[in-house]
Structure 1
Amino acid sequence: MDYIVILIAFLIALNIYASFRVLRSIEFENAQKLFQIIVIWLLPLIGAALILLFIKDDHTPKGPRNPNDGQGVDGMPGGVQ
């Protein structure tokens, strides 16, 4: 009995978190957000997991990690000449 209550509480918390992430996302229109929230709540574990996989993390770095990324060994575009 206690395990069922814990599982239900976990699923509700996961759905609330996924819904919050969808609402905060700037990459979707309102109609898409509504559809995604419906999927989250109709398919509790699977829906939330899928939606969270597709939402970009807003905390990812926007630029290259290293200023030399994408350049050759000598720092020139295209590699060693």
Structure 2
Amino acid sequence: MTLFDILVGAAIAAVLAFQVYVTVRVFRSRVYEPKQKVWQAQLVWLLPIIGAGLVFTILQEEDRAHRDASSHLRS
């Protein structure tokens, strides 16, 4: 096994781990309806890297908006 093989294997493992992480976050999200969660998960897995990155970005923005709204309610 060469260094290249190890690096490729590590890159593939990292992409898969990221996609699993994003998929779990989608299904734990309270923002989406069940059907929307399925669509988001399909996007993650049918467009590797790009789909996961897009969904991750959307989840981050929604988390930030939720935190901002919650902080205004506490004031």
1:73 counterpart residue number: none
What percent identity do the matched residue pairs reach? Answer: 34
Between Structure 1 and Structure 2, the one with more helix by share is 2
Number of residue pairs the alignment of both structures matches? 66
Which gives a bigger RCO, structure 1 or 2 (Cα 8 Å, sep 6+)?
2
| 1:1-47, Cα deviation, whole Å (9 max, x unpaired) | 11110111001100010001100111111111001101101111111
Q: Does 1:16 align with 2:20?
A: yes
Please report the RMSD computed on the Cα atoms of aligned residues, expressed in angstroms.
Answer: 2.1
**1 CA distance for matches of 2:58 and 2:12?**
24
> Any unmatched runs of 5+ in structure 2?
none
The AA in structure 1 aligned to 2:10 is I
Q: Does 1:57 align with 2:63?
A: yes
User: Runs in 1 of length 4+ with deviation above 6 angstroms?
Assistant: none
| 1:30-72, Cα deviation, whole Å (9 max, x unpaired) | 11100110110111111111001111227835114xx5xxxxx
Name which one, 1 or 2, has greater alpha-carbon Rg: 1
**2 CA distance for matches of 1:44 and 1:2?**
20
> Any unmatched runs of 5+ in structure 1?
68-81
